[in-house]
Structure formats: structure tokens, C-alpha cells
Chains A and B, each alone.
Chain A
Amino acid sequence: MTTNRSTVIEVEHLTVSYQAKPALLDVSVKIESDQLIGVIGPNGAGKSTFIKAVLGFVKPDLGTVLINGKSAQKAKGEVAYVPQRGAVDWDFPITVKEVALMGRYQKIPWYTSPKAADYEAAFNALEMVRMQDFAERQIGELSGGQQQRVFMARALAQGSDILLLDEPFAGVDAATERAILDVLERAKNSGKTLVVVHHDLSTAAEYFDKLILIKQRMYAYGTPSVVLNEDLLSKVYEGRLRIFSDIIKKGEA
């Protein structure tokens, strides 16, 4: 890769355990800026622990997570989080505009209300994901892809350079998947680093610049053609997938 990229997330020897069971073991990875990174691995591989560690929620048993050179616990808000669609209460009384505005909450002191600049930033973020026309809608009235885009807007309004997305492609149809990918790519081109938890191996090669393959340990980090190799995948997925050959061909193409 080119040399002018700086390291934005630096994970070293990260080890996290829950009651003597390791969720992550000696994970070290340096993520450079301006990239679309996919985090892949089977269920229970520690992907969500990895997210929590990057957000600074878990205290590692060993190792460090540095965000822009600061420890993750101190770098609050420098990683913008986009939740999984299933984790959101879509009946919550809140409009699209208000969700986007939440991205600004960290910067608004508790004793004042949001200012014009905050509303403007929220609106700009909505424009960036092409959701400005839906600003007054309640979030439950949107389609799956639109809902995902609203939360992307919130992350963009937060102004963080690092975006962390939890399974953004889960449960959306192919056309919506493309629309979301389009937003991700535009964010990348505007200088963001996106770390995306992803479960679909068949699209991983096509969508991401680099992949992180984890299952407790880190098995590989690199371009899809390096990561999606048969030996690695069959080791991590223990032969549970039969379509490796297809995926690997795509990775090489």
C-alpha cells in the first residue's frame, strides 16, 4: 500500500477474556486511514468483542488499543459507531433529523441547546447519504437501506474520521446493499476510515480494500486475495463452508 497513509487504529497484543475463556487472544493489527476494512470470522469469533475494544468498552487483560495515538478509553467519540439494524428500537419516537443531530451531542454542552451550526451539520450529513428529503419522518417508516443510511449520517455528523459499522448489510436486499456500499465508498473517498463487521464471505472480496480474519486469534490481515485463501478459511471455518473455491476465485479476479 502507499506510504502516505497514517495509522489510525493500532491494536497490540489485545487479549480479552470472559471468565477464563479468551474472547480475543493476542490480536495485533495496524489499520491505516482512508480504507474500507472488513472484519470477518465465524459466529462467536470475538468480532463484537473487537468492536467493544475499539470503542473502549472492555478493559483488555493484556495489550493496548490506540485510536489516533490515544488509548481507546480516552478517545471517546473519535470512533463513530453505527449499530446493527436489529439492535435499534424502530418504534422509538424520533425523527430522521433528530437521529442525525445525535451525532453532534458530544459537542453540545449539557447546559445549552443545539445551535444552528449543529442543525446544519446534521442536515449536511443527511444530504451526504441522500436522506435530506426524509428529515421529518419517524425512523420506523423507512426501508431497511434508508434506516442504515440515517445512522451513517449520524456517524458522519459526529465528524469522526473512523467509522465502525456492525453488520450494515445484514437483512437487506441486493439493491439496498449496493446503495449502502455506495455511501460507504463516498465516505471513504472523503477521508474516512471504515471498519465494517461483515458476515458474507462471498461479497467480502468485492466490497473491501482489506480484510481482518479473526477467530479469537487474528488469522490474517491484508488484501482480500491474501486473506481469502483456502487453507486459512478452512482452518477458521473448520470446513463448514463449501463455497470456498468460488470465493477465492472472486478474490483473485
Chain B
Amino acid sequence: MYDLFIAPLAETYFQKALIGGSIVAVVAGVVGCLVVLKRMAFLGDALSHAMIAGVAGGYLVMKLLFGAEAHAPGMLLGSLIAAIATVALISFVSRISRVKEDTAIGIMYTGIFALGVVAVSIFRHYIHIDLMHFIMGDVLGVADSDLWVSAFVAAFVLTLLILFFRHFQLATFDPVMAASIGLPVLLIDYVLTTCVSLVVVSAVSMVGVILVVGLLITPAATAYLLSDRLDRMMWLAALFGVTSVVGGLYLCVWLDSAGGGAIMLFCTLQFLVVLAVAPKYGLLARWRRMRNLVPQQVIEDILTTILRHGKTTPMAVIRQYVESGGKGIKKALLRMIQDGLITSSAGGYDLTADGEKEANKVLRAHRLWEAYLDTIGTPEEQLHPTAHHLEHISDTNTVDYLDEKLGHLDHDPHGQPIP
């Protein structure tokens, strides 16, 4: 136990990874909520890829102009510029050409990513950037400067989001109303995009270009499955971000794997677990709801069976005419008793007044359908089964249409009265 959980905590690299990762995960989760709700997940991906060009540019400029090696603020500024340029290019291309936004995003981010890769390899004698580090991240090698950068970014972005929570909420939910009360919707959008860029830039050194978008959207999506309010969703997303980092780092130490990968793996597993068990929007809940659903068809079949039988109907008769599993019928009967359609006695089941009305409705639909099928030349032996299937389309409009079309018949083709 001690070796598994406490020992890693004593290592400086683990502490730094834990602190840095948690800071980044909290702010990424909170901003990620808006990213998920605005459906701009792909944009996060684009921003992170564009960064490499910015980092290379920033490195080069600082080194050539000021002789500073691997100047962190310079690279940060460079990546921010690259991120914002990418966003501008994307919206420019999708606005002026017939190319749609998703394609524009794909073109621009791969293009700028490629520019960065080429730049890094051409200037490899000047720029000492490890491409692998950039792509995969190195959470276990977090430097103090990285910690400071992410702490400042987190403080800035979170302050903005908390102060202007209502503005972001309204502009995301209903931009038209937001504009109509005078909120600067476009500015809010730009601010949000800048926040996303900042978060992405501060997270890349830890989890890498490819995985950063996961840190942005997966905790937010996990929280989305559990909450019906934006503020709670943000709290939960921050929490899931931190648990991903903590769980992922232990995973990485135990399995001796890549840090960024372990974090995202844990994060994704966490999402899948929540997806399965979430009380309202989870798969298990959905499956339970489906199972408790009594098909209308079974109810209607039971009603007409009892009506046709004409007296107290024993279970055996219902079984014979209603196609459904024994359990399905039992459940349907219980539900119908609850709804006041039938009553149960020792000898079987009887219709209530409401139940009889409903049953007559279905029977009327059935016989009208039979009469209609007869007029369009359906062979006689198919009349009953086809009508039996169609009778469940029994809304008033349909039935009235049939009745009118047939000229208000009294009897169906079998000579039975149409109620």
C-alpha cells in the first residue's frame, strides 16, 4: 500500500506533475464545458496543432533577435499568435469560400502544423525542440517555469469565467437574446477562443499536442452526463479533470508508461464508466427505462381481446391472442390496472368504462382499416393480419379520414359492426 500510493508522493517530479497537471486540468475542464456546448471541440484540436508553428517562430525570433535560448515567454506568445491566426484563417476561409467550417478547420490546422514541423526541421541547428516531446508531452518533466505559466493562465481564465459567467452562459445558450439585450456577443466569442488558446498552450507541455483536446473536452463531456446546470457541470468537469490527472499519474508510475497517455486513458475510462452508470443520461438508466416501457401495441391488443371475449377474460385467453412474452403481458396488465383501464378478479380481467372506450376506439380503427384494405383489393386472407398491424395507427385524424373515404360504413367486410 505504502509503496503504491505514498512513495510516489515523496518524489519531486511526481509532486510537480500532480500540481501542474491538476491546475491545467481544472481550467481545461471548466473552459471545456463551453467548448462542448458550443460544439467547437475540433477547434481545440486545431489550436493545439497550430501551436508548433508558433513555438518554432517564437523560439527563432527570440534567439535571432535577442540571443535567448528557448525563451519560454517568447514561445508562449508565439503559440498564442499562431493559435489566433489559425482561428482567423479558419473563419476567413469558411466565410469567403464555399468550403464549410469543418473542412476549413482541417485544412488550416494541418497546414500550420506542417509549417511548424518543416520550420523545426530546417532550423534544427538553431532550434532545439524535441518534436516527440511536443507531440506526446512530458508531464513527468514539468519545469518550474511551466508551473508558473499554467498557474497564471488558470488564474486569469478562471477569473474571467467566474466574473462573466452569466455573459458566457447566455451568449452560448441564446446568442440572439444576448445580442438583443446589448451583450457584445462577438467579443465574448473572441474572449472564449483566446481563453481556449491560452489553456491549450499551457497544457501542451504536459500532455502533448494530440492529447490536449481530450483534456479539454472529455472531463466536460463526463460532467455533461451528470448535470442539468452549467455551474454544476463546470464544478464536476474540474473535479473529473483532477481525478484524471491523479489517476493517470499513478497509472503511469505503476505501469511505467508515458504520462500524457496514462492521464488521457484514465480520463476516457472515467468517461465510459459514467456513460454506463449515470443516473439520468447513462446507458444503464436508458436500458432500464426501455425495459419498463410497456408497448402501446400490447395494451391495445389486450383491450380488444377482452372486448371481443365479451365477459371476464382469464389469463389463458389473453395469452392466446396477444403476441408478447409472458412477462410482457403481466407487466402490461399491471400497468393497465394502475391506469384504470381494467380490473382484475378471481376469474380474470374486465374492462372498466374507460377501458371499454379505448378498446372500442381500437376496434373501430381495426374494422375501418379492414374495410379500407378491402376496397383497395387486399386479398381476404390478408385482411385481418394487415389490419391488426395497422390498427395501432389509430389517431383521430387517420380514423376520420378512413371513415370519410369509405362513406361512413356501418359494417366491415366480415359483416361485423363498426363501433
A88 sits at the interface (CB 8 A): yes
B173 & A92 in contact (Cβ 8 Å cutoff): yes
B174 & A79 in contact (Cβ 8 Å cutoff): no
Q: Which stretch in B99-107, B226-234, B291-299, B352-360 binds the other chain?
A: B226-234
> CA A88 – CA B37 in complex, angstroms?
12
- Contacts A93-B230, A138-B228; A110 near B37 (Cβ below 8 A): no
> CA A5 – CA B233 in complex, angstroms?
47
- Contacts A102-B174, A105-B166, A110-B163; A93 near B179 (Cβ below 8 A): no
* Residue in A81, A87, A110 whose CB lies within 8 Å of B180: A81
> CA A187 – CA B166 in complex, angstroms?
27
> CA A127 – CA B174 in complex, angstroms?
23
Interface size on B, residues (CB 8 A): 23
CB distance from B36 to the nearest CB of A (A): 10
CB distance from B200 to the nearest CB of A (A): 23
B residues within 8 A CB of A95?
228-229
B residues within 8 A CB of A92?
37, 172-173, 230
B176 sits at the interface (CB 8 A): yes
* Residue in B166, B176, B177, B229 whose CB lies within 8 Å of A93: B229
B residues within 8 A CB of A55?
176, 179-180
A110 & B167 in contact (Cβ 8 Å cutoff): yes
B170 sits at the interface (CB 8 A): yes
Interface size on A, residues (CB 8 A): 26
A108 sits at the interface (CB 8 A): yes
B residues within 8 A CB of A56?
180
* Residue in A57, A89, A98, A108 whose CB lies within 8 Å of B37: A89
> CA A158 – CA B176 in complex, angstroms?
15
Nearest CB to that of B178 among chain A residues? A105
A60 sits at the interface (CB 8 A): no
A residues within 8 A CB of B180?
55-57, 76-77, 79-81
B316 sits at the interface (CB 8 A): no
* Residue in B164, B176, B224 whose CB lies within 8 Å of A81: B176
B173 & A87 in contact (Cβ 8 Å cutoff): no
A102 & B37 in contact (Cβ 8 Å cutoff): no
A106 sits at the interface (CB 8 A): yes
CB distance from A88 to the nearest CB of B (A): 7
Question: Which residues, 83 to 125 on A, are CB-close (under 8 Å) to B?
Answer: 83, 87-89, 92-95, 98, 102, 105-106, 108, 110-111
CB distance from B374 to the nearest CB of A (A): 32
CB distance from B75 to the nearest CB of A (A): 33
Of A56, A79, A92, most B-chain CB atoms within 10 Å: A92
How would residues 147 to 180 of chain A score, 1 for a CB under 8 Å from any chain B CB and 0 otherwise?
0000000100010000000000000000000000
A106 & B182 in contact (Cβ 8 Å cutoff): yes
> CA A98 – CA B170 in complex, angstroms?
10
B181 sits at the interface (CB 8 A): yes
* Residue in B170, B227, B228 whose CB lies within 8 Å of A105: B170
A residues within 8 A CB of B232?
93
6 residue pairs of the A-B complex, CB under 8 angstroms, read A56-B180, A77-B181, A93-B233, A105-B170, A105-B181, A110-B166
Q: Report B's interface with A, CB cutoff 8 A.
A: 37, 163-164, 166-167, 169-170, 172-174, 176-177, 179-182, 224, 227-230, 232-233
